[in-house]
Structure 1
């Protein structure tokens, strides 16, 4: 089954070129099935790139997905026009009365700022609390995961001596997790962050799923809050880390090339994607688990969980 996204969303052409089946609203309305309702709270500056990355992964499932693009209400984007946002996105205030089978909260480029100093933090707190009553299962990514771990568990961030930047091998700690079915024993995962989570601050409600002894935690299961927390970026495409590196160089920063990304560690060569298959597998597993456990009646989501 295909994914349904806004009819004129620029990501549609990219997805169709890659073979992802995209459905328009007219065709979706004729299908007598209940599609899964998935929301994407996009906190990244480059909205189009991020929505394409997640649509690509969500759209690979055999189930029909209705994807709703969401943005925080109390925030003006500096990198995406207001016309684009009004055309393709809904504010959280607009969707807060609705229910979702799944909800994704992305990262945000504010890693060095205390959570409470983020201008839209009060709304983020409302959104995180709202997922407990209006969402069957949530995937928090990167800064979104750090924020949720801080809010729900009081977990503390630790500033690393240097930025973890590149493609790192990670150990699958809990291969029996339904989210990790079919995963290799170790997985190449793109990483771009300055912070780790202090292990001693983790509550007993959390279970580490994927880990790295060098740079820290990667993915945790949070069954109490019906969530998983992914601190790194399996959703990244080939150029995500390379483009970030080039931006740093243009800004005059002394950022070393991302490790294990370029062939022969040569930044003049095109990056190699060694994580794509696990990215698709993670999202198929996540959506399958949602499909198996979510109430058939959307209105019942969050009422007895």
Structure 2
């Protein structure tokens, strides 16, 4: 089954070229089924790039999915045309009345700001609290994962002196958890962040399980026992070239970045990329949609239970 996206969304052409089945709004309206309702709160400055990355990962499932693209505020992002935002994005106020089977909240390039200094902190905490009443399962990515942990559990992330950047080996810690179903015992995933929360801190939090972690990158996938919150501290959605683009950007900004680890062939930035994470990235989102969303959500979203 396809993912349903707005008519004329740029991602449609990219995904069609990759032979990924997408359906626009007009065609989806003729389907006599109850599709999953998934919201994407996109905090990244380059909205179109992030849309394509996330929609690609959501596409590998037999379920039909309706996607709402949600913006945090009305400010025009620097790297996305205003017309794109006006045509394809909804404000939170426009969807606050709805219930969703799943919600994805992306990372944001604001690693060094204290949470209270983030201009939309009050708004995003409102959305996090709203999700406890209106969403079956919420997946928080990178910065959003640390921000949600701080909001719900009160523990602030630590900041590394040097950015964690590269592709790291992770071990599955909970082989029988459905989110890890089909994963190899050791798998790779990209990270690009300054924030860090120690594994023992997650382990000491009642109701949370560290499902996958790395000796170099720390906790990668943490989930609540009721499956309604998932914290992913890395970037399974990254394109092959994304870490290189970030590295070159940091060089241009004179930030003296370290070469991303385990990413370039022979650790040579002039060499080809070693792309070793995409199959597990796809599997993670497929498992989330199947086991944490589809198999737990009520048929009538009005019956969605409120989180404690």
Scaled by the length of structure 1, the TM-score of the pair is 0.96
1:302 aligned onto 2:292: no
Q: In the TM superposition, what is the alpha-carbon distance from 1:218 to its structure 2 partner?
A: 1.1
Q: Deviations over 1:164-203 (max 9, x none)?
A: 1100101111111111100011111001011211345442
**3-state SS of paired residue (1:293):** coil
Partners of 2:275 and 2:71 lie apart in 1 by: 29
Structure 1 consecutive aligned stretches of length 4 or more whose deviation exceeds 3 Å: 198-202, 302-305
Partners of 1:122 and 1:300 lie apart in 2 by: 28
Partners of 1:252 and 1:303 lie apart in 2 by: 47
Answer with 71-80 or 204-213: which moved more. 71-80
Alignment root-mean-square deviation, CA: 1.6
Number of equivalenced pairs: 305
Q: Deviations over 1:101-144 (max 9, x none)?
A: 00000000001111111000000110000000010100000001
Q: In the TM superposition, what is the alpha-carbon distance from 1:272 to its structure 2 partner?
A: 2.7
**3-state SS of paired residue (1:129):** helix
Q: In the TM superposition, what is the alpha-carbon distance from 1:74 to its structure 2 partner?
A: 5.5
- 1:105-254 alignment to 2 at 5 Å? 105-202=105-202, 203-223=205-225, 226-254=228-256
Partners of 2:25 and 2:228 lie apart in 1 by: 30
Partners of 2:71 and 2:272 lie apart in 1 by: 32
Structure 2 residue ranges without an equivalent (≥5):
none
Partners of 1:151 and 1:95 lie apart in 2 by: 22
**Cα 1:103–1:304, aligned 2, differ >3 Å: closer, same or farther?**
closer
Report if aligned partners of 1:220, 1:228 keep a CA contact under 8 Å in 2: yes
Q: In the TM superposition, what is the alpha-carbon distance from 1:268 to its structure 2 partner?
A: 1.8
**3-state SS of paired residue (1:284):** helix
Partners of 1:193 and 1:78 lie apart in 2 by: 21
Report if aligned partners of 2:132, 2:307 keep a CA contact under 8 Å in 1: no
Scaled by the length of structure 2, the TM-score of the pair is 0.95
Report if aligned partners of 2:60, 2:282 keep a CA contact under 8 Å in 1: yes
Q: Which residue of 1 aligns with 2:267?
A: 265
Partners of 2:190 and 2:198 lie apart in 1 by: 20
Report if aligned partners of 1:43, 1:106 keep a CA contact under 8 Å in 2: yes
Report if aligned partners of 1:156, 1:198 keep a CA contact under 8 Å in 2: no
Q: In the TM superposition, what is the alpha-carbon distance from 1:11 to its structure 2 partner?
A: 0.9
Partners of 1:150 and 1:163 lie apart in 2 by: 20
Report if aligned partners of 1:74, 1:123 keep a CA contact under 8 Å in 2: no
Report if aligned partners of 1:132, 1:225 keep a CA contact under 8 Å in 2: no
Q: In the TM superposition, what is the alpha-carbon distance from 1:225 to its structure 2 partner?
A: 7.4
